[in-house]
Amino acid sequence: MAGMARRQALLIVAAIALLVLLLDQASKTWARGALTPGHQVTVLPGWLWFRLASNTGATLGLGTGNNALFAALALIILGAIAVLALRGNVGGALGMAALGAVAGGALGNLVDRVRLGSVTDFIEVHLWPTDFNLADAAIRLGVVLFLLALLLDWTRRPRRATLSPGRKP
């Protein structure tokens, strides 16, 4: 992230994380108030439904009943993101925005785990194996964008000349 100041990197991560957190919590508040457990609302016939669900595990129902473990994992992830953001040299502005999306999603689900004892899921998409929420979507998108930012950063780095076998410098 040549040229990006640490302060700017932190600002990008914090702003995106806060935006994701607010949108996630607002959407979950809406879902808990507007949707009835056990009933689904069709948004796009055959493709998108809203259905209220509660999740004490991770994606795909993995680790169900381990709410405290996943809360602790979220704190570890948030700490790792803070370290990367403080270093201020990971993947440029795209990398920092991606880390902000992951942090905001982790915070959104952590708030649910602490406040409600489980994560509120309510989005169901055709051919996607499980219900999810905006925090989950932000985490997935953030990871993909972070990997893309790292790849772009790696491809833009100047290469050192390599010597052919048998040649000495």
* Active-site pick, 24, 112, 121, 131: 121
- CA–CA distance from 93 to each of 5, 154, 166 (Å)? 11, 14, 42
The pair of structure tokens assigned to 23 is 């949108």
- Alpha helices by DSSP H, listed for the chain, are 6-34, 67-87, 92-116, 134-156
Other beta carbons less than 10 A from residue 10's beta carbon: 16
* Active-site pick, 24, 112, 131, 136: 136
Number of C-alpha atoms within 13 angstroms, CB side, residue 139?
A: 18
The pair of structure tokens assigned to 53 is 């669900």
The pair of structure tokens assigned to 90 is 């990971």
Nearest CA to 121 among 68, 60, 44?
60
* 136 a catalytic residue: yes
Nearest CA to 1 among 94, 133, 135?
94
Annotated active-site positions, please? 121, 136
